[in-house]
Amino acid sequence: MISVLLVASLAIFACAFANRISDKIGLPALLVFILLGMLFGEDGALQIPFENYGFAETACSIGLIFIMFFGGFGTKWPQARSVAVKAITLSTLGVLLTTLFTAFFCRIFLHFSVLESLLMGAVLSSTDAASVFSVLRSKQLNLKDNTASLLEVESGSNDPFAYMLTVLILTLMSSTVTAGEIVVLLIEQIFFGLAIGALVGFLALAALKHYEFSNSGLQMAFVIGVAVFSYAFSSFLDGNGYLSAYLCGILLGNNDFKDRVPLIHFFNGITGLMQMMIFFLLGLLASPSAFGAVLLPALVIFLILTFLARPLAVWLLLTPQKAPLPQQGVIDWCGLRGAASIVFAIMATLGDVQPQSDIFHITFLVVLFSISLQGSLLPLVSKKLNMIDDSQNVLTTFTDYIDEEDVQFMKFAITKGHPWLGQAIRFLPLPPRTLAAVIIRDGQNIPPDGNTVLKEEDTLVLTAPNVEDNTFLTLREMPILPGSQWIGKTLQQFNKRRSSLVIIIRRNGQNIIPNGQTVIEEKDVLVMNTGRKVKK
């Protein structure tokens, strides 16, 4: 047990530091995670034996729940709405066409059986949300014609349909089913996937808006439960659990509720950990010694997917929707395969009927080719096709963009005698680039305009540009102990003697913004800017 924990912690450390290194050398971080897993694996330097496909499939499936949920949570639907039809067409019909085209060419070039060709196509038919999100974010790659939003919605929503096709083909391979049973299976997957995702999402949203959690940790635990329940309940009813988790994430991510921002940070971290775990675990499971036997078919399938199957599917579906050819070219190239495809390949390996080909290692190599070549060259391809939009920030396509803006918020209580009491917003002596964002009055949030008059007991929230580099600011705390010489003295006296500036007083659990006449009390904690230089 201890040795397992030690290896796991070392793997997390390695992945965390490798993420920073990958940005510098230009490799996608997810590729580095896979390579680290291979380094730890049986054929790698550490030679850790791991062949438990069942455990890997279960662990990775759980990880995919959070990736699917946060994929929906992070997609800004108002911005994605304009490309939703194109994206959903690609994530449904596009997955089907990619499966059929890949199967056709596998049958022609590699002479796989019909069902095995279809299985290969289904396993590799979806683009990977984690890979697409990672490349767009890390490369700060914004694309013209709202293409980034299109790719985000497509990659976030097409894994459920690829999963559905994989399950269907595995069912065909393991038993004799009628056409009617196939139709029923498809209807159940889609209907319950959508219905449960919507139901759980709306109920969870109502709870988040109207129920007061005692602390933010319990709220985070609640939302974790929501993500898992949306998947599990849908799967229990033979629905598509990944579709439910994704839809539930969209509903929660595009609505406001209390403490939403810490929740975004939390799930961003959880999703990052899940990506590390999945790609590392899959790398650990792979046997590089088996690559030689499947290298040629894997390379052929990668070329089929990249230059035949996906381009044909994209052209057939987007040309009638008048998508420009450069946009189609970027969408073609951004068909990154990832963890979901390998997890589906594990499902095929664990199925009742074993495929004649090594589906797992073929898929693994295709994913390696895709992430390393397509992921690394995506910025170059986008530039060559003149699809990069430098006037926008790709982060605006995610619902957590507000957390990455260079703004800060300031809160002022309008008390009796306050100089702003009774003043209209437009007459306030605000510094340049400062905006009155909201007035909190009687528990209500009021969006102010220039004629809004401040009343007693209002709370005014201002926004202003954030400090990008605070290395010039050195803060330290000084508690006022019983018997201190400063008790009863004003801050003006204190600052003059100490050659420093007190910017906050922590008193009885409250943060007080003081002025020169504020009197220091026993048990105060003074937060001071000492003015000393620090090394960057």
pTM of the full structure:
0.70
How confident is the model over 359-387, as pLDDT tens digits?
Answer: 999 999 999 899 888 888 888 888 889 88
Q: List Cα–Cα distances, 435 to 54, 275, 393, 408, 428, in angstroms.
A: 56, 39, 22, 11, 10
Domain interval for residue 378: 51-286+294-392
Lowest mean pLDDT among 182-196, 228-242, 294-308, 499-513: 499-513
The mean predicted confidence, pLDDT, of the chain is: 82
Lowest mean pLDDT among 39-43, 205-209, 227-231, 472-476: 472-476
Domain at 493, CATH number? 3.30.70.1450
Asked which of 465, 495, 513 is the last residue of a domain, the reply is: 465
Asked which of 369, 392, 415 is the last residue of a domain, the reply is: 392
Same structural domain, 315 and 449: no
Phi, psi of 461 (to 5 degrees): -110, 120
Indicate whether 10 belongs to any domain. Answer: no
Task: Fill in the DSSP letter of residue 526.
Answer: E
Task: Fill in the DSSP letter of residue 92.
Answer: I
Indicate whether 12 belongs to any domain. Answer: no
Q: Are 384 and 393 spatial neighbours (Cβ–Cβ below 8 Å)?
A: no
Same structural domain, 346 and 434: no
Same structural domain, 238 and 260: yes
Closest C-alpha among 168, 247, 169, 164 to residue 202 = 247
3-state secondary structure 296-364: HHHHHHHHHHHHHHHHHHHHHHHCCCCCCHHHHHHHHHCCCCCHHHHHHHHHHHCCCCCCCCCHHHHHH
The continuous run of DSSP H or E covering 74 comes out as none
Same structural domain, 188 and 220: yes
529 forms beta bridges with: 475, 501
Same structural domain, 91 and 175: yes
Same structural domain, 273 and 301: yes
Mean pLDDT value across residues 83-97: 91
Mean pLDDT value across residues 157-175: 86
Phi, psi of 531 (to 5 degrees): 80, 5
Indicate whether 27 belongs to any domain. Answer: no
Same structural domain, 327 and 427: no
Between CA 244 and CA 71 the distance in angstroms is: 12
Closest C-alpha among 232, 240, 231 to residue 191 = 240
Same structural domain, 214 and 181: yes
Indicate whether 22 belongs to any domain. Answer: no
Same structural domain, 458 and 316: no
Same structural domain, 380 and 411: no
Same structural domain, 254 and 312: yes
Same structural domain, 347 and 300: yes
Between CA 483 and CA 297 the distance in angstroms is: 81
When divided into structural domains, the chain yields a total of 3
Indicate whether 132 belongs to any domain. Answer: yes
Mean pLDDT value across residues 117-125: 93
